[in-house]
Amino acid sequence: MNVFSLALANVLALRRRLFGLVALVSVAAAVCLGALGIAGRAQGVTDTGVKESNANRSITVDRPADRPGTAPLTDRTAARLAKLPHVESVQHRAQVSFGVLTDAGDTVLLYATTHRPALTPPITKSVREDLFPLRPGEIVTPATSQGVDLSALVGQDVETETTRFVRPGEGTGVTGHARLVGVYDPTWQLDNPDAAYAADPTVIGWAAQRSGEPEKNYLATIGYDQLTVVARTAADVPEVTKAVQRLGYPAVTLQQQLDALPAVLEMIRVVGQVLLGVLGVLAFVGAVTVTGALSRQRAQEIGILKAVGFRTRAVLTMLVVEMAVAGAVAALLGTVLGALLGSVAAALLRGSADLAPYVEGWVLLPPPVTLLLLLALTVLVVAAGSLVPARRAARMSPTDAMKDW
């Protein structure tokens, strides 16, 4: 019988004595993998949502309100930015407040917003498959806003109220109608928590009406609230951002805005990373303790092996392999328990509207490469922890090992 088959036989024979180590490491691994699985899936959903669209190449340029020497965000400015190196397109955003009156008598204050293809909101209900570009007189609102459910109004004409400029500091209400053709997930708030998308002529007309500026002059004088510069590739984003900022405009990449996870999921990720260190310590200390105790209890067995010709290196290998096998069993059990723990935690997190989009799927584990690396490190740490007591036991002479026979 070779050393490895002897080690496997010993693990089966000593399974009750190894139960404590296996249970300790498997539970610690389960908690660690569960936390890392939830955080990893949440970050993966966030990254995928950004990278699968041109949002990852988007740079938001705000109106230079505090920079009098910088030109407003007019069509001329948009054309100037479009000529910068590595720029694919420039998309505009204008916003103006308006009210929607419901049949129940509620008035919901929203912000009419021009649609940018780089930042299309996640539609949850609509009258047609392809909503954008919107037609004049159509609006898309959040599914719920200010406690009012607007999804029930999809496909209906709603009464709107806008403001017409009278004199500085004074305006008058103007009643109109619009058709609500779709609603989007209200957790998507990149343009405003209460943004309602409308066709460009509708938004510009309402904005010009509110400002008192003739509609034909509005874009040349007041301009847009925001521009989105779309770089040709994600690698071009830093260079394009610096070029825009050198022109005097405040600019930030959308990737920077979307990089953070919700606080609860960020906490779970941190806890998972901390537990990863705790898992390593527990596995190492547990291996040291169990290997030392078993070596003392098995002194006579070791003495017999040395007496029949087993060398120190063979005995050392046998003892370390035994602990490595125990660590592998614990790691596999921890993976199963971690998947169960992560799934239960994810089910609980789905009860929150803010967190539900980040916990897709039922079996939440880290990516395969990360998972295999964690399993290998667990086995390696357990084996490393057993090395010192195993070496001490393997170096005993047959006489010392069998003196209490």
The runs of H, that is alpha helices, within 185-311 are 200-211, 215-221, 237-246, 254-258, 263-297, 299-307
Q: Are residues 105 and 9 in the same domain?
A: no
- Paired strand residues for 375: none
Residue 50 has what pLDDT?
Answer: 45
Q: Are residues 174 and 206 in the same domain?
A: yes
Q: Are residues 293 and 149 in the same domain?
A: no
Q: CA–CA separation, 314 vs 4, rounded Å? A: 9
* Domain's final residue, options 211, 230, 258: 258
Residue 240 has what pLDDT?
Answer: 93
With H, G, I as helix, E, B as strand and everything else as coil, classify residue 136: coil
Cis peptide bond upstream of 133, omega within 30: yes
Measured over the CA atoms of residue 102, residue 106, residue 110 and residue 112, the dihedral's sign is: positive
Residue 35 has what pLDDT?
Answer: 65
Q: Are residues 293 and 386 in the same domain?
A: yes
Q: Are residues 136 and 232 in the same domain?
A: yes
Q: Are residues 216 and 113 in the same domain?
A: yes
Q: CA–CA separation, 257 vs 267, rounded Å? A: 19
**Mean pLDDT split into 10-residue runs, the chain, 405 residues:** 70 74 76 65 51 69 79 91 94 94 86 91 92 94 92 94 91 94 90 92 94 91 92 88 91 64 55 67 75 73 75 83 85 81 68 55 67 82 82 75 55
Determine whether 332 is exposed, middle or buried from the number of CB atoms within 10 Å of its CB (0-12, 13-18, 19+).
Answer: middle
* Residues 302 and 399: beta-carbon distance below 8 Å: no
Q: Are residues 274 and 243 in the same domain?
A: no
* Residues 299 and 396: beta-carbon distance below 8 Å: yes
Q: Are residues 216 and 301 in the same domain?
A: no
* Residues 113 and 192: beta-carbon distance below 8 Å: yes
* Domain's final residue, options 193, 227, 258: 258
Domain hosting residue 117, numbered range? 55-258
For the chain, how many structural domains are there in total? 2
Q: Are residues 251 and 269 in the same domain?
A: no
Determine whether 349 is exposed, middle or buried from the number of CB atoms within 10 Å of its CB (0-12, 13-18, 19+).
Answer: buried
Q: Are residues 86 and 25 in the same domain?
A: no
Q: CA–CA separation, 149 vs 332, rounded Å? A: 47
Q: Are residues 303 and 276 in the same domain?
A: yes
Residue 1 has what pLDDT?
Answer: 56
Q: Are residues 148 and 169 in the same domain?
A: yes
* Domain's final residue, options 206, 224, 258: 258
Which residues are within 8 A (CB) of 195 and not within 5 positions of it... i.e. 6 or more apart? 95, 110, 111, 113, 121, 142, 189
> Half-sphere exposure of 216 toward its Cβ, with a 13 Å CA cutoff?
0
Measured CA angle at 52 (ends 49, 57), to 5 deg = 100
Which long-range contacts (C-beta less than 8 Å, at least 24 apart) are formed by 343-348? 345/34, 345/38, 345/268, 346/38, 346/41
Residue 275 has what pLDDT?
Answer: 65
Residue 272 has what pLDDT?
Answer: 61
Q: CA–CA separation, 143 vs 196, rounded Å? A: 10
* Residues 84 and 231: beta-carbon distance below 8 Å: no
